[in-house]
Amino acid sequence: MDFELDTPHQQPGPAGVPPIDFRAALNDEQFAAVTAEPGPLLVLAGAGSGKTRTLTYRVAYLLSQGVRPGEILLLTFTNKAAKEMLHRVQDLTGIEPGRFWGGTFHSIGNRALRMFGDAIGLPKNFTILDADESETLLKQAVESVDKTFFKEKTNPRPGPLFSVLSLARNTQLSIADTVTRNFPQYAEIADQLPAFAAAYAKKKAEDKVTDYDDLLELWLKLLTDTPDVAQYFAHRFRHVLVDEYQDTNTIQAQIVDRLAAHHRVMAVGDDAQCIYSWRGADFENIMTFPDRHPGTVIHRIETNYRSTPEILTFANGVLNAQPKGRHFDKELRAHRKHGQKPAVIQAMDDKEQAAFVLKRIQSLIENEGVSANEIAVLYRSHFLALEMQLALTRAGMPYTITSGVKFFERQHVRDLIAVLNFVYNPANTSAWNRIAILLPKVGEKGASKIYAAALDHAKLMQQNFVDALATDDVASKVPKDAKPDWPNFCASLRQVYDAMNDQKPSDAVEVAIDGWYGDYMKGEYADYTDRVEELKGLIGFASQFTQMSEFLAQIMLLNGETSEKQIDHDQESIKLTTIHQAKGLEYDVVFLIGAAEGQFPGYRTIESGDFEEERRLFYVAVTRAKNELYLSYPRVASRPGPGGMMLQPTRFLQELPNDLYDELRIKRTFGW
């Protein structure tokens, strides 16, 4: 199947399909990559440069050179991406998507294991567990080793425990290292986890089932331990194409290396957009690709069709600040006409920052004709958007949270508010039921029984309801499995009660976070540290109030307004999203809020000293903007951090030449 590529401008298509004029359809950089000679190819496709177009035309070009569809393997990270590319190929060539091997790593792994899994002891009729089934099986495996493990409230529940083991498997790091790097809240039990992982693996083998991660692990094992099968795939797939290569984890990179032993591989990606290490992506995969594939030819696609020259000059400045030798050099070049420079805005606090963004959005929509759908507010962490959500809600501006549910609808936020609501008003049985059923083996009926016993005791003894909970009479109604938690639960509620009566609402919120509910979260959520940060955002919000009644009423009113609105999918709405969720998207106007030290990057990153992924995330944020980019930060923090109350602009702004942006000053009347 070797062939020479003479890169003519026009190539004949398959029988009955008009020839494709590759030269006319592609710019110089894309054309060079699409028509490159077979071999190891690394295509560095900058933001907005037409990555998908390049991959699509590469497939079409190979077909025009006589390569059969079944000899091309296209690996992507979503089925949507694979379908989109292969349908574009069909539009170009007339060849149906079903004739290719194209899809996610996991779907192709499943297909390979169905064919050859028996070579490594996996029956062809194996079944794949969904997330809930995987967690159930893991729970059974853990309890076969330690029956009491899940009874300790700070130990991870099956879901978070699965997340720990999954990340260790995908990164091929030890469980101990994985815990140290990503799940420090489980440091004290790290030595117990390998035995659980072994019991889980044994249980899966006995049941002839796999989980999602096995589709990669066992596929790699198949390619590693069975030379005949490895040879079959290496011979079958004469060309391996990989989309978003910078997002590959350790196993995925090894799979690609083995499938492309013939080195006819094209990896397309952008090292500057590697932002998923917390999910297992390994930055080193793209950086060391040329080392693992000798003779790699690097193609740079740097012409950007998305953003104005001013936005791209700003983005290039972000890239230029990267340490030398730790990235591929690239410079985005604009295809569009000039526009305005990015604007940097210092606000007094979160509230004023939100007011500025709201006023500018209103002007964009009402005076400049910009669609609400084309306006995005980006942020590093959910809690940074709290005031923004409140401002938009008060103004009646429709908005959509594209990175999850609205702040006050997030489960842990609702739980904490329920704690506060119940302590403030023990007659609130809805709040009681929400927090009581978080205790082990306490359902709605059990919660009602405990509540009734406490109510009777409080009336009989003329006692405060919260104090009545801690009495022996009430404790006798608590299920056996919940009894170890009960004293801490009651003591925590009492501490919140004391804080409500003696201190500010913000102090009561902080006490609630630090008490029993904080311990509960350690076991319930793998992303415990992130969720705690979000809850601490409530401390700053609560500091605006002097009375607990005002604070709770405001939350309920705002939450009710946002929850009761029916989402009209045809209605235009402003997009609020984390930067991670915005990757791959673009908007006419982008507001990046919270661009301050301690917020982006956060204090944990500052303490660790590892800023490079955060810098890449900053780059991803600014390259979402097509026409206008605004970066804002509060001067006064909503709550004190390690640096006190006063905030500085993010280092990612400070390291840029100040002629790359304009500084806008907010008048106290919110003019600028």
Q: Binding site for ATP: what residues are annotated? A: 45-52
Helix (H) or strand (E) segment spanning residue 269: strand 265-269
**Cβ–Cβ < 8 Å for 263, 293:** yes
124: which residues sit within 8 A by CB, 6+ positions away?
114, 115, 117, 118
Strands 10-11 and 20-21: antiparallel
Owner of token pair 């049985």: 429
CA distance linking residue 150 with residue 143, whole number of Å: 8
150: which residues sit within 8 A by CB, 6+ positions away?
139, 142, 143, 157, 158
CA distance linking residue 240 with residue 632, whole number of Å: 43
Region of residue 292 (phi > 0: left; psi between -120 and 50: alpha; otherwise: beta) = alpha
Binding-site residue set: 45-52
**Cβ–Cβ < 8 Å for 639, 599:** no
CA distance linking residue 255 with residue 261, whole number of Å: 10
**Cα 274 from chain centroid (whole Å):** 12
Q: Closest by alpha carbon to 583, among 552, 617, 555? A: 617
DSSP notation for 422-477: HHH-TT-HHHHHHHHTTSTT--HHHHHHHHHHHHHHHHHHT--HHHHHTSHHHHTT
